[in-house]
Each structure stands twice: as C-alpha cells, then as structure tokens.
Amino acid sequence: MEKNPSLYQQEEKRTVLRMLTNGAALFSDIPYTCQKGDGGWECKTYSQVLKDSRCLASGLKELGFCKGDKIGLLS
C-alpha cells in the first residue's frame, strides 16, 4: 500500500528524544526504567530520564560536541 504523500509530510519525524519528551508529558511520574542497586530496585520516572538526558546533552555541548558528531558510550 502506498502512503499518501500529503499525510506523510505532516507526520513528525520519530526520534528517541521526541518519544521520551512525549512520554514525559503523558506519564510524568510513571517509572520509565528500573535497575537493581545495593538497596533494592531503583526506578527513574519519564520526567527524571528526560532531565538526565538534557543534562547529558548540555554537558556534551559544553565539551564541544555538535549536532551530527559521533560518540561511543561504554557501560
């Protein structure tokens, strides 16, 4: 089935950041991710993860990274 070009142009580009931002708007205080720590399970809400991602982006920008630059994360 072929997409209608006029409808396709109106769709927002789906990105991880856009999905997280929409999730934080809809599910602000609902857990987004949980991990087991020394004191048991520790969860972060959609809003907390969005705030953390903005802090990370700000830090990378301060270090001189620009849109389109490539980085690697080791965990």
Q: What is the pLDDT of residue 62?
A: 97
| CA–CA dist 30, 8 (Å, integer) | 31
Structural domain includes residue 34: yes
Domain span at 53: 13-61
pTM of the complete model: 0.73
Q: What is the pLDDT of residue 1?
A: 53
| CA–CA dist 75, 55 (Å, integer) | 18
| CA–CA dist 71, 59 (Å, integer) | 13
Structural domain includes residue 6: no
Structural domain includes residue 66: no
Structural domain includes residue 47: yes
Which of the pair, 37 or 8, is modelled with greater confidence?
37
Banded pLDDT at 75 (limits 50, 70, 90): confident
Structural domain includes residue 71: no
**Residues 15-49 pLDDT 10s:** 988 999 999 999 999 999 999 989 999 999 999 99
Structural domain includes residue 43: yes
Domains in the chain: how many in total? 1
Q: What is the pLDDT of residue 12?
A: 72
